[in-house]
Chain A
Amino acid sequence: MNRSSTWITKAAAVFTKDLRCELRTRYSLTTLAMFAFTTLVVVSFSVGQGGLSPRVQAALFWIIVFFSAMSSLAGAFVKEEDTGTAQTLRLYASAPVVYAGKLLFNMLLLFLLSLLVTPLYIIFMNITQVNWAILAAVIALGVVGLAGATTIIGAIVAQAGVRGALLAVLSFPVLLPLLVLAINGTTAAFDMSGWTNAIDSIRLLAAYGVIMITASSVLFEFIWNG
C-alpha cells in the first residue's frame, strides 16, 4: 500500500510538480515563447534577407536562445521563494532531489524553446542548406549545458531581493565558453563543412555539460541546506 520512494521517483515528483504548475499557469512557457518570437522577428526583419555568413547566422541564433533562456530560467526557483513554498520544500526534499527535478524541468523548457526557434529561424533567415545531424547534436548538448549552468545560478538569483537582469549578469561569464563552442558547431552545420570541423566543439560541449552539472550538484547542497 505505502511504498518508500526511490531517489528517481522523488526527483521525478519534483519535475512533474513543476510541470503541472507550469501547465496550469503557462507563465514560463508563454514568456519564453514570446521573448524568443520577438527577438527572432526583429533579427530576421532587419538582417534576414541579406546574405549573412554562416558564422553570423550561427551567432545570431545563439544570441536569441541565450536571451530567451535568461527571460525565464530562474523561474523554477523564483516562484518557490516568492510563494513561500521554498522553505516547505526544504523540510521535505533533499538537495540532490530538488536539483535533479529543477534541472530536468529547465532542460525541458529549453528543449521546447529550441524546437520552436530552430525551424522558424531557418525559414525566416532563408537558410537553404543545413547539416541536420550536426545541428541537432550541437543544440541538444547546448541545451544540456545551458540548463546545467543556469539552474544553480537561478537558485542563487531567486534569493536576491533585486533580481532584474541578475540572472543574465551572473550567467554570461559562465556561459561564454558554451556560447563560443555552440556558435562554432552551428557554423559547421550551416556552412556544410562537415563533421571534421564540428567534432571538436561537440566533444567540448559535452565536457562542458558534464563539468557544469557535476559542479552544480556539489554546490547546490550548500545553497539548499544553508
Chain B
Amino acid sequence: MAIRLSVENISKSFGARKVITDLSFTIAAPGALGIIGRNGSGKTTLLKLLCHLYRPTRGRIEMMRDDNEIKREDFFYHIKMVSPELALYQMLTGLENLRFFATVSGVEFSRPVLEETLDRVGLTGRGNDRVETYSAGMKQRLKYALSLLTSPPVLLLDEPTANLDDTGRKIAFEIMRQQREKRILVIATNEPEDLQNIEQIINLDN
C-alpha cells in the first residue's frame, strides 16, 4: 500500500493577499518533507491545505494509494495534523479526549490501550485530569498520543518541538522517526534540529 501525496501548482490567497503561489511537489511513503520559512510565510497555511482544512484557490492536492486516487470522503482517514492551532477539549480529561477523537475517526479503544498510549508520551497518571489543567507542553504530548493511536498514513506536524522539554523532544523525535521510516511525514518548522535526516525541504521564502 504505497501512499503518495502530490501537490500540483497550488496557490492560496485570502482576499487580495497571496500566501502561496504555484507550489508543486510529491512525497511517497516512506518519506519526509520539511517546510521552512519566516513567520507568516504560509507554513501552517500549507499544512492546512494539505489536509483539506483549507481549499486551494488554484491547483490540486491528491492522495494516491497504488495509483488510485483516495476519494474526498476517505481523505481524512489517511491524514492527521498536530498543530498549536488545533485545540483539544479543555473541559474533557486527557483520556476522554483520546477516546472521543479515536471513536469519531472510526476506532474504539479499550481503557488499557489508551492508558498505555499516555504512558508512551510521558503523561502517566494525568489521564483523568482535565486538559484545562495541562501545561502547553503537556497538551502537545497529548496530541502526539492521539497521533500514535490513529497512526495515519500521512502525519503533518506544525512546530513539532515547540513548548516541549528534553524528554518531550525525545518522544517527538521518536514519533517523527517512525513516521518517516514507514509512512509520510511533513514538518513545518524553523528549528534546524527538527529537520535532521530529512532530505526534501521546501523554503517558502523563495
Interface residue ranges, A against B (CB under 8 Å): 1-5, 9-10, 13-14, 17, 20-21, 24-25, 83-85, 87-94, 97, 225-226
Q: Are B113 and A1 in contact (CB under 8 A)?
A: yes
**Cβ–Cβ < 8 Å partners of A9 in chain B:** 103, 108
- Assess whether B52 is interfacial by the CB under 8 Å rule: yes
- Assess whether B76 is interfacial by the CB under 8 Å rule: yes
Q: Are B76 and A226 in contact (CB under 8 A)?
A: no
Q: Are A97 and B53 in contact (CB under 8 A)?
A: no
**Cβ–Cβ < 8 Å partners of A14 in chain B:** 104
Task: Report the interface size class on chain B.
Answer: 20 to 34
Interface residue ranges, B against A (CB under 8 Å): 48, 51-55, 72-73, 76, 79-81, 85-92, 96, 100-101, 103-110, 113, 130, 150
- Docked complex Cα distance between A21 and B100 (Å): 12
Q: Are B53 and A5 in contact (CB under 8 A)?
A: no
From A2, A25, A93, A97, B91 is in contact (CB under 8 Å) with: A25
Q: Are B103 and A5 in contact (CB under 8 A)?
A: yes
In the complex, how many residue pairs between chain A and chain B have their CB atoms under 8 Å apart?
A: 84
**Cβ–Cβ < 8 Å partners of B85 in chain A:** 84, 87
Q: Are A21 and B89 in contact (CB under 8 A)?
A: yes
- Docked complex Cα distance between A97 and B105 (Å): 10
Q: Are A4 and B107 in contact (CB under 8 A)?
A: yes
Q: Are B110 and A2 in contact (CB under 8 A)?
A: yes
| 25 CB < 8 A contacts A-B | A1-B110, A1-B113, A2-B110, A3-B108, A4-B106, A4-B107, A5-B108, A9-B103, A9-B108, A14-B104, A17-B89, A17-B96, A20-B92, A20-B96, A84-B85, A84-B86, A85-B88, A88-B87, A89-B104, A91-B79, A91-B81, A97-B104, A225-B72, A226-B54, A226-B55
- Docked complex Cα distance between A90 and B110 (Å): 24
**Cβ–Cβ < 8 Å partners of A91 in chain B:** 51, 53, 76, 79-81, 86
- Docked complex Cα distance between A88 and B104 (Å): 11
Provide the main secondary structure of the chain A interface: helix
Q: Are A5 and B92 in contact (CB under 8 A)?
A: no
- Docked complex Cα distance between A2 and B51 (Å): 26
Closest 10 CB pairs of A and B: A84-B87, A93-B104, A88-B86, A92-B105, A13-B103, A21-B91, A3-B108, A92-B101, A24-B91, A10-B104
Q: Are B54 and A92 in contact (CB under 8 A)?
A: no
**Cβ–Cβ < 8 Å partners of B107 in chain A:** 2-5
**Cβ–Cβ < 8 Å partners of A1 in chain B:** 109-110, 113
Closest approach, in angstroms, between the C-beta of A104 and any C-beta of chain B? 14
- Docked complex Cα distance between A180 and B70 (Å): 47
Q: Are A17 and B100 in contact (CB under 8 A)?
A: yes
- A10-B103, A13-B103, A88-B86 given as contacts; is B53 within 8 A of A226 (CB)? yes
Known: A24-B130, A226-B53; 8 extra A-B contacts, CB below 8 A, are A21-B89, A83-B87, A87-B48, A87-B86, A88-B86, A92-B76, A93-B105, A94-B76
Q: Are B91 and A20 in contact (CB under 8 A)?
A: yes
**Cβ–Cβ < 8 Å partners of B54 in chain A:** 226
Residue of B nearest to A9 (CB): B103
- Docked complex Cα distance between A87 and B55 (Å): 13
- Docked complex Cα distance between A2 and B100 (Å): 14
- Docked complex Cα distance between A24 and B113 (Å): 26
**Cβ–Cβ < 8 Å partners of A89 in chain B:** 104
- Docked complex Cα distance between A226 and B57 (Å): 12
Residue of B nearest to A89 (CB): B104
- Docked complex Cα distance between A94 and B75 (Å): 10
**Cβ–Cβ < 8 Å partners of A17 in chain B:** 89, 92, 96, 100
- A20-B96, A226-B54 given as contacts; is B104 within 8 A of A92 (CB)? yes
- Docked complex Cα distance between A28 and B48 (Å): 31
- Docked complex Cα distance between A3 and B73 (Å): 21
Residue of B nearest to A20 (CB): B92
